[in-house]
């Protein structure tokens, strides 16, 4: 998110403003932990941090946010004023654990057994963000889509096995690797023994996202649109902001345009208003 905002302000929107300098945008990324992307190898975390700094993002490590308001945040004794605050510290699990009166961790997840059932309730399965299952290294599985998909498939198999009077083996998570994009030509990929970064990691990230789309046609359309946007820096939307003159008091002759109105031209464009010296692309 921080990398996307930096590129948006310094590259994509740089030519769209006349009275402000979007390159003066200040982006601060606050991380309570000691490094970025704690689920990745330390080397890849350092690569991601260097890439963000090249984009002009300020990084604050080991500093938790103690107060968050609409006009800024507080980091300990430091106050950072901002009209745009983006909170990306994860989500809390549903209230299912509270309904059952079970003990949960700080994120609201319940520890499940090897068969993903709730302690004391073998008839109840918990998966996804609601479940906490630890790996051999005592670290819980990450709350990502691949974990939830594998757990859902396992539960379906376990239910079918129970209906057939059989028992399913314990759940085993197959780590397919982790990908994270930072910006154009910048991403990190961690597959255990194989770790990629930079342009190669970005190409792999792009290919993986296109591959998992449903349908060949969708893959081709998205790939073509991404390629066109990448080569041309084309923006998908424009915001036209201005003050229209208030309607005049009294009656106008039929067909006369309202004061301040602009007549539409073929193609959806409009003539420049008096005093409007901005060029049209």
**In the 8-state DSSP scheme, what is residue 141?**
P
Is 122 a member of any domain? Answer: yes
Number of domains in the chain: 2
Is 157 a member of any domain? Answer: yes
What CATH number should be reported for the domain holding residue 213?
Answer: 3.50.50
CA distance 121 to 116: 11
Which range marks the domain in which residue 80 is found? 2-89+177-232
Same domain, 84 and 114: no
SS3 178: strand
| 41-71 confidence digits (pLDDT tens) | 889 999 999 999 998 899 999 888 999 888 9
Find out whether 56 and 4 touch, Cβ atoms under 8 Å: no
Single residue among 232, 248, 266 that ends a domain in this structure: 232
What's the pTM? 0.67
Start-to-end Cα distance in the chain = 29
Which residues touch 22 (CB under 8 Å, ≥6 apart)? 9, 10, 13, 14, 16
| 71-120 confidence digits (pLDDT tens) | 999 998 899 999 889 988 777 777 878 887 888 888 788 889 899 999 88
Is 260 a member of any domain? Answer: no
Single residue among 214, 232, 250 that ends a domain in this structure: 232
Is 240 a member of any domain? Answer: no
Per-residue DSSP letters for 197-230? EHHHHHHHHHHHHHHTSSSHHHHHHHHHHHHHHH
């Amino acid at each position: 998110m921080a990398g996307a905002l930096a590129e948006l302000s310094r590259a994509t929107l740089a030519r769209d403003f006349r009275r402000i300098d979007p390159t003066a945008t200040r982006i601060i990324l606050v991380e309570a932990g000691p490094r970025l992307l704690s689920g990745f190898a330390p080397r890849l975390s350092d690569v991601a941090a260097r890439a963000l700094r090249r984009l002009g993002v300020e990084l604050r490590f080991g500093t938790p946010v103690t107060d968050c308001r609409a006009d800024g945040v507080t980091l300990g004794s430091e106050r950072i004023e901002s009209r745009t605050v983006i909170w990306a510290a994860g989500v809390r699990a549903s209230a299912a654990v509270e309904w059952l009166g079970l003990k949960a961790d700080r994120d609201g997840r319940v520890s499940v057994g090897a068969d993903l059932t709730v302690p004391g309730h073998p008839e109840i399965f918990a998966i996804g963000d609601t479940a906490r299952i630890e790996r051999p290294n005592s670290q819980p599985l990450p709350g990502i889509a691949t974990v939830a998909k594998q757990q859902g498939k396992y539960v379906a198999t376990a239910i079918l096995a129970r209906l057939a009077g059989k028992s399913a083996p314990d759940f085993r998570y197959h780590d397919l690797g982790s990908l994270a994009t930072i910006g154009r030509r910048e991403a990190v990929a961690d597959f255990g023994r194989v770790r990629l970064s930079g342009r190669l990691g970005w190409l792999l990230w792009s290919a993986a996202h296109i591959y998992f789309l449903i349908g060949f046609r969708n893959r081709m359309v998205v790939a073509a649109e991404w390629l066109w946007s990448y080569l041309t820096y084309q923006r998908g939307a424009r915001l036209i902001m201005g003050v229209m003159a208030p309607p005049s008091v009294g009656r106008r002759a039929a067909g006369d345009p309202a004061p301040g109105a602009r007549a539409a031209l073929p193609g959806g464009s409009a003539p420049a208003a008096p005093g409007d010296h901005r060029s049209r692309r």
